[in-house]
Amino acid sequence: MIDYTETEESADDSDELYEHHRIVVDKRQALLRVDKFLMDRLPNVTRNKLQSAIRSESVQVNHKPVKVSYKVKPQDVITITLAEPPRDTDVVPENIALDIMYEDEELLLVNKPAGMVVHPAYNNWNGTLVNALTYYLQNLPTSRNGEGRPGLVHRIDKDTSGLLVIAKTDYSMAYLAKQFFDHTIERTYYALVWGVPKEAGGTITGHVGRSAKDRRVMVVYPEGDYGKHAVTHYKILRSFKYVSLVQCNLETGRTHQIRAHMKHIGHPLFSDAMYGGNKILSGSTNGSYKSFVENAFKLMPRQALHAKSLGFKHPITKQIMQFETELPEDFAAVLAKWGLYEGQ
C-alpha cells in the first residue's frame, strides 16, 4: 500500500522540491532489499538515486534510518524523501551567465536575479535558471555521459531575487532535500512592506492554500481547514513611516508564504501586483507623495522580496554553511529613496 501523504512541488517563494511517500509493506511480502523493493513501487526513480537517499537517511523504516542492505519485512512502514524526479520534457542547455557565490564538488550557491524564472514551464521554456545550470553543469566532472544535472532542491519566484542552493550529486540532492523536509535549513528574506506592523517582531502562523477565486494567488486559512501549515517569523529592521523593511525567517516553505502571510496581517509587500502591493496602501493618494510612490514603483516594478541568506549542513563535511548576499540594485535604490523621503 502506498500513501502519498505529502507532496511539495510548486514554483514559489521557497517550496521544497521533494516527494514524501509512506509505504506499508504487505503482510505477504518476502524478504527483499529495500532498494529493490522501492524500485518496483516508485515511478521515475533510479536505483542510484534511491541508494543515495538511503545513505543520506532520507529513507527510514519504522522511523529509523536503514542501510542499503536492509531487507524489508511484512508490515514495515517505510517513509521516503526524494528530490524531484526528472521531468518528461528535455531541458535545452543555454549559455546564460550565473552569479555563483560558492561551489565545490557537491553543490553550488547561485544568486538569482529578479526576472529569471527558476525552471522551465508553460510559456517559460527558455532563459530559466535550469537552462543555465544544465549548460554550466554539463561541462563539470560530476556530469555523466554529457548530461547536465542541475540539481534543483528548492525554488524562489521569478520576481524574487536571492540565494538558491544547487546539488551536483545524487547524494547531495537527497541530503539537502531531507534538510528542507525537516525544516532545518535557515532561510532569511528581506521584504519591504506597506505600513508599520504594530509589533516590532512576531510570528505569523496560518495555513496557506490557493485562493478559490484565483488559483495563482495564495491565501491564509487561519482555521486550518484548507491549505498547509505555514510559519513565518518576522522583525522590523527599519521603518520609513509609510513602509517598513522587514526580515522574515521561514520555518516552513509554502508557495508565496511570505507574500500571503504579510498581506494577511495587513502589510502586503511593496510593489507586489499579485497581492495588491502595487497601490498606495499607506499615506496620501494624491499630490507629491503620489508621484513619489509611482516613481518608486517604476524603480522596482516587482515585489520587494530578496532571499538574503541561506544556512545548511554540508552533505559531506557536515559543517554548517552560511551564505549572505547584498540587496540587489533596485531594492537598495528603493530603500535609499524612502530614506531620503523620510528625511525631508
Q: How far apart are CA 107 and CA 115, in angstroms?
A: 23
Q: Which of 13, 15, 157, 272 is catalytic?
A: 157
Three-class SS state of 39: helix
Show the beta-strand stretches assigned E in 292-337.
305-313, 320-324
Q: How far apart are CA 161 and CA 164, in angstroms?
A: 9
Catalytic residue check, 157? yes
Amino acid, res. 317: T
Residue 134: all three cell numbers together: 544544465
Residue 338, H or E segment: helix 329-342
Residue 14: all three cell numbers together: 521557497
Residue 172: all three cell numbers together: 547531495
- What's the burial of 239, exposed, middle or buried (CB within 10 Å: 0-12/13-18/19+)? middle
Q: Catalytic residue numbers?
A: 157
